[in-house]
Amino acid sequence: MTLIDWIILFLYAVSTIGLGWYFSRNQQDTSEYFVGSGKMNPVLIGVSLFATLLSTISYLAIPGEVLGKGPIYLSNYIAYPFVYLVLGFVVLPVYMRQRVTSAYALLEDRLGLSVRLLGGILFLALRLVWMSLLVFLTAKAIAVMIGVGDEMVPWIVLVTGIFAVTYTSLGGLRAVVITDLMQTVLLYGGALLTIGTVSWQMDGFSWFPTQWPSDIWDQQPIFSFDPATRVTVVGSIVSVFLWMVCTSMGDQVSVQRFMATEDAKSARFAMGMQLIVSVVVGATLGLVGIALLGFFHANTGMLPEEGTLKAQADTIFPHFIAAHLPPVVTGLVVSGLFAAAMSSIDSGVNSITAVVMTDFLERFGRKPETQAKQLRMARVLAIVIGGVVVSLSSFIGYIPGNFMAVTNKTVNLLTVPIALLFFFALFVPFANAKGVWIATIASVSVAVLIAFSGVIFGKVSEAAPDPVSFQWISPAALVVGVTVGLVACKLFAEK
């Protein structure tokens, strides 16, 4: 990176701190800090939902997946209209009648304190690991782009965490949402600049393949009865449909943003905006993967020396940014990747803080008496949580797999079990705490068995596929959880 690239990165980081300070001046209570007083613009909320849930995954995993495995994963966007119908007209109207800071407060009203605490603990575990993983992967990519070794990754994680936690602890959700908008613009701009640079260097769109490059891409069928088939069209659609619906139902990160809008109509609009942005940016990032495949197929001498194009699929995008983009453009794209990491931290930290304050401290009478003290404690908690994420990131390097597979194995592990708590609480009249606990244990157990089936049942080699593809984590966890839960709730129903 040149001096001008470093200046661009520095200016972006400083601007986020300034934004957090600006919004901190008008905070009077924790309602403003956590949900923006419930009157935020649904367009901003929709973009923030996208930036929070998909930014790092999109920016790193989608180009690598399409480049190294094939484009079939992009078929998941077929699920989005169905996601909109289910969430917009079934789930959100129920949720928006309950104006709560923590989603898990809804669970206690229907199923008791133990289920509320179960939901809060599962959420904390999911988001802490999720943030740690995504920040670590992003730091590895940034290390490639700025030309340093893996030994500098912990320091990049630390710097990213300090900036994100600082503006989150100052500005609350308003700062998070505004910076998420900035980050989305940088992310998308970086993708467009990459496609433009490849097209310019190849004198047009000759990078687009006219036939399936079987030496690089896997065979990816529409459907397969073999559970070890890594990716299929049906598997992509079903797994992403369930992930989107379950995340919106049970994840504080999503619910908190819906609560920041005025009513169900605004929340539905925000969700529609999230889906539209996701499709546009995701498709563009898929084209980034295809463009890079075409570029390095035509210029094999420009590949890094460590291995083949397929083996390096996850790091080719960062390598291209570092080696082939012109100055200023490199700075903007690195800022975009830095932004992706921060959007993961800022939203997760703010939402975890809301859950800790509401579901644990306030519920057990440990909440400070005055609004000023509550706000101060929320900011301290944000700093502590950020420190935990930075610390956990140092262990993520021991998890094997490419970006897409590892992310799915961690993000999808508890998503369905958490959503099942809300399904039983809000939509099953005869649900009870004992039955829901049994359902959750069964659902989590199945999710773990599938996610780590290669480790548990043993693979012939590292290159061999897992016995069960990561795409079936969510469907299996849902079917087992609902079936076991309905039976258990009937068995333990009060006579």
How do residues 300-322 score in pLDDT, each as one tens digit? 888 876 667 887 888 888 888 87
Res. 443: pLDDT tops 90: yes
**Which pLDDT score is estimated for 26?**
55
- Among left, alpha and beta (phi > 0; psi -120 to 50; other), residue 195 is alpha
Res. 249: pLDDT tops 50: yes
Q: List the chain domain ranges.
A: 3-218+261-400
Res. 292: pLDDT tops 90: yes
Write the single-letter amino acid at 417.
Answer: P
**Which pLDDT score is estimated for 473?**
93
Mean pLDDT of 16-32: 55
Distances (CA, A) of 389 to 130, 155, 257, 347, 386: 9, 13, 22, 13, 5
**Which pLDDT score is estimated for 420?**
96
Mean pLDDT of 337-366: 72
| Range scoring the smallest mean pLDDT among 124-128, 172-176, 491-495 | 172-176
pLDDT band with cut points at 50, 70 and 90 for residue 37: very low
**Which pLDDT score is estimated for 495?**
55
**Which pLDDT score is estimated for 445?**
96
Determine the distance from the C-alpha atom of residue 289 to the mean position of all C-alpha atoms in its chain, rounded to a whole number: 20
How do residues 384-430 score in pLDDT, each as one tens digit? 877 888 888 877 776 656 777 777 787 778 999 999 999 999 889 99
**Which pLDDT score is estimated for 344?**
66
How do residues 82-92 score in pLDDT, each as one tens digit? 999 999 998 88
d(CA 284, CA 277): 11
**Which pLDDT score is estimated for 415?**
92
pLDDT band with cut points at 50, 70 and 90 for residue 229: confident
Whether 178 contacts 44, CB under 8 Å: yes
d(CA 172, CA 32): 8
DSSP assignment letter at 312: T
Report the mean per-residue pLDDT for the chain.
Answer: 80
Mean pLDDT of 434-450: 95
Res. 273: pLDDT tops 50: yes
- State which fold the 3-218+261-400 domain adopts: Sodium/glucose cotransporter (1.20.1730)
Task: Tally Cβ neighbours within 10 Å of residue 266.
Answer: 22
CB-based burial of residue 87 (10 Å sphere; 0-12 exposed, 13-18 middle, 19+ buried)? buried
Model-level pTM greater than 0.85?
no
Top mean pLDDT of 154-163, 224-233, 252-261, 404-413 is at 224-233
pLDDT band with cut points at 50, 70 and 90 for residue 337: confident
**Which pLDDT score is estimated for 467?**
86
